[in-house]
Amino acid sequence: GVASASNDHRLGANEAPPAIISIFLGDQLTDVFQQIKAGGANSSIPKGTLTVGVDVLPPLPKDAGDRNRTSPFAFTGNRFEFRAVGSNQSIAGPLVAMNTIVADSLEYCATKLEEATGGDPSKLHGELQKLLTEIMNEHGAIIFNGDGYSDEWHAEAAKRGLLNLKTTVDALPVLETQEVKDLFTKYEVLSERELASRLEIYLEQYIMSIKVELNLTVKIAKTMIFPAAIRYQGELVSNCASLKMLDYDFDTNTLDKVTELVKALQDGIAELEAAAGGESEDMLSEATHCCHTILPLMNKVRATADELEGIVADDLWPLPTYQEMLFIK
């Protein structure tokens, strides 16, 4: 599968597809699809030309399929691309699943056509058109050529009955459903025991990834960010005291904000450490705890650290800042 702790961060942003599985066909193939659905394909949208805005350059042919970087499963002219797999994942698992699904679909079509034609080749074309129309009417909801990031698509996908499994914890229990068990055991691809073992391994990998991130978050917050914030807070307190001794006014807004954030950071670290001890023998429960309790707490600590980064003096900050990483300095 494509579900993992790291892929949860990727899907739905930065030109990665959303967690909703849909198929992008492009204008040309969608037109053919609609014609077949209506009773038969008789024409095809021709390729257009790409206008580049420079007169000296010749017109460039434009693919009729077009492109959609927000689709998890897209037709790109001569092939389908499955884009939901993460960079550290093997394509083998998703290919096993897709090939098994294709095999089941082909068997379904073959069985239906054999029953409908009764072995008479002259009936094949008519029965094939009926079958294709039936399949397209039943499963056409998965076709979507628009913006997969839009809120409108999420609402539309829910209306169409498409799953939106946003996290690994939401997705992995699907392996336990009877429909999945029946599919893989029918073709002897995976037994129920093998499916159960994969579920356990995927959950274990997810839990371990989150726990590593948890420990690192606590360590960085306690040993790097908190000390830097305290030093800056001390400098502000010292300057404030010195200026008051000289009867100068000192704006304490920055000091107040840093003090507030230091307290929030301390509280966030304490909450994370407390949450880390809530382990369960049931792996799904533990993974759910990681997803719905630990991850939000880590994000809370991260948000506090981000605020401190924008306030604490640059020479005291122990980590590369966003400014340094994005703009060198």
**pLDDT (tens digit, 9 = 90+) per residue, 119-161?**
899 999 899 989 999 999 999 999 999 998 888 999 999 999 9
Together in a domain, 136 and 206:
no
Together in a domain, 92 and 238:
no
Together in a domain, 20 and 160:
yes
Which sign does the torsion angle of CA 187, 188, 192, 197 carry?
negative
- Pick the last residue of a domain from 142, 166, 190: 166
> Does 171 fall in a domain?
no
Together in a domain, 132 and 22:
yes
Together in a domain, 134 and 227:
no
Q: Is 74 exposed, middle or buried (0-12, 13-18, 19+ CB in 10 A)?
A: buried
What is the tally of structural domains in the chain?
A: 2
Together in a domain, 224 and 319:
yes
Q: What is the pLDDT of residue 200?
A: 96
SS3 24: strand
- Rounded-to-integer distance, Cα 66 and Cα 167, Å: 30
* pLDDT at 203 exceeding the cut of 90: yes
* pLDDT at 43 exceeding the cut of 70: no
Together in a domain, 216 and 291:
yes
Number of Cβ within a 10 Å radius of residue 3: 24
* pLDDT at 189 exceeding the cut of 80: yes
Picking from 132, 142, 133, 105, the residue whose alpha carbon sits closest to that of residue 24 is 142
- Rounded-to-integer distance, Cα 182 and Cα 184, Å: 6
> Does 182 fall in a domain?
no
Q: What is the pLDDT of residue 250?
A: 78
**Side-chain-facing half-sphere of 101: CA atoms under 13 Å:** 8
pTM score: 0.85
Together in a domain, 224 and 158:
no
Q: What is the pLDDT of residue 326?
A: 85
Question: In the predicted model, what is the mean pLDDT of residues 161-185?
Answer: 95
Together in a domain, 126 and 41:
yes
270: enclosing H helix or E strand: helix 253-276
pLDDT over 70 for what percent of the chain? 90
C-beta of residue 21 within 8 angstroms of C-beta of residue 84: yes
In this structure, the chain runs to a length of 329
Which sign does the torsion angle of CA 308, 314, 318, 322 carry?
positive
**pLDDT (tens digit, 9 = 90+) per residue, 157-171?**
999 999 999 999 999
Confidence of residue 254 (pLDDT cuts 50, 70, 90): very high
> Does 239 fall in a domain?
yes
> Does 192 fall in a domain?
no
Structural domain span for residue 127: 5-166
Together in a domain, 216 and 282:
yes
> Does 173 fall in a domain?
no
49: enclosing H helix or E strand: strand 48-50
C-beta of residue 304 within 8 angstroms of C-beta of residue 268: yes
> Does 256 fall in a domain?
yes
- Phi first, then psi: give them for residue 180, nearest 5 degrees: -70, -40
> Does 289 fall in a domain?
yes
Question: In the predicted model, what is the mean pLDDT of residues 244-266?
Answer: 91
- Pick the last residue of a domain from 166, 188, 210: 166
> Does 186 fall in a domain?
no
Question: In the predicted model, what is the mean pLDDT of residues 259-281?
Answer: 91
Q: What is the pLDDT of residue 27?
A: 81
Together in a domain, 139 and 285:
no
* pLDDT at 234 exceeding the cut of 80: yes
* CATH code of the domain covering residue 309: 1.20.120.1560
Question: In the predicted model, what is the mean pLDDT of residues 105-111?
Answer: 96
